[in-house]
Amino acid sequence: MAGRNRVEDILVQAGVVDELQIRSAYAQQGQWGGRLARILVERKFAAEEAVVHALSVALRVPRIRPAGEPRDGGALAKLDAEFCEAKGVFPVALRDNGKTLLLAVADPTDLEMVDEVERRARARISVAIAGEIEIRTAIDRHYHHKETAPPKAAARAPQPEPEPERLAPPVAPSTNDDLDDLLAGAPDATGFTREEVERIRAIAENQEKSGKVLRAVTELLIEKGYLSAKDLAGRHKA
């Protein structure tokens, strides 16, 4: 395996995180403990996939997704779940007739941990890198026989009903012919919805009826001599 490399230097050089985020993660680590890569992911400074990829490339350690690997009872018997959870490792499979243990690790630079696993398992260790969340999922699945629940999708807020689109300021039609033109064409091109055009038609028809009545009354008044055409013209000018 590659020699010891500081995880933080690799991630900064790869552009996964910056120095300020590293210092913030170290402050949390000093107070509460935990592995640096996991803190960076939990603080949402970096995606776990980006962290794993950067370390895999820099350290030349193969990438593995342990939760998707088939269950190997012989490998699982080499380590207990509590140890795996504490060290961020997962025994994936036994190879070479049980002489080699394929081990998924969150931190390949922790050589002391690898040596400890080798003593416990009494087997050579072949290291592959995985995300710590992925390792925990594999532990839950293969040791505890439970599935890690996927995050629930956030409920969508009810969306308001869209208002009818108006592409231009509405202009009231002047005659029924105009209304017929509106109804024959696309109402949204004039700024009115079809319902609004129908209401305008009804109003226009009522006004037309009222106008006919008013003209009939006016003609009767002129005929009876109560009102002259001259008086009517003067009233219109006023």
C-alpha 74/C-alpha 184 separation (Å) is: 79
Residue 148 in any domain: the answer is no
What's the pLDDT at 36? Answer: 85
pLDDT number for residue 3? 38
Q: Which domain holds residue 59?
A: 7-142
- Is residue 43 in some structural domain? yes
For residue 78, what are its two tokens? 């080499």
Instruction: CATH number of the domain at 137, please.
Output: 3.30.300.160
Specify whether 15 is located in the same domain as 120.
yes
| Co-location of 226 and 133 in the same domain | no
Of 122, 142, 162, which marks where a domain is finished?
Answer: 142
Task: Note whether residue 147 is domain-resident.
Answer: no
What are the residue ranges in the chain where pLDDT is below 50? 1-5, 150-157, 165-172, 186, 188-189
Q: Does 161 fall in a domain?
A: no
- The rounded distance, in Å, linking the Cα atoms of 238 and 233 is 9
Domain limit, last residue, from 87, 116, 142: 142
Q: How far, in Å, CA of 110 to CA of 92, rounded?
A: 18
Tally of domains in the chain:
2
State the pTM of this model.
0.58
How many alpha carbons lie under 13 Å from residue 102 in its C-beta half-sphere?
20
Q: What is the pLDDT of residue 167?
A: 44
Residue 164 lies in a domain: no
